[in-house]
Amino acid sequence: MISLPSRVTGAAAPLALGLMVEHIGSSALWISALVSLSAFFALLLLRNEQATSTPLKVGEQNS
């Protein structure tokens, strides 16, 4: 269930692009490139929080 959205969008993407090319023409490829670039830059903006605590050693417990 966790991977379902990824699988659905992966399966629908070629169909959506084909329909866009059929209705809009070659400018659909520019739209697709713009969407891909914006998604790339959005992923670059995501940052993981830096871990401020020290990792636990084997046999230690959380306090």
Q: Is the pLDDT of residue 17 over 70?
A: yes
How far is residue 11's CA from residue 5's CA, in Å, rounded to a whole number?
10
- Is residue 30 within 8 A of residue 41, CB to CB? The reply is no
Over residues 13-25, the mean pLDDT reads 92
pTM of the entire predicted model: 0.55
The predicted pLDDT at position 44 comes to 86
Q: Length of the chain, please?
A: 63
The predicted pLDDT at position 11 comes to 95
How far is residue 24's CA from residue 30's CA, in Å, rounded to a whole number?
11
Per-residue 3-state assignment (H helix, E strand, C coil) for 30-53: HHHHHHHHHHHHHHHHCCCCCCCC
Quickly state the pLDDT bin for 30 (edges 50, 70, 90): very high
Quickly state the pLDDT bin for 5 (edges 50, 70, 90): very high
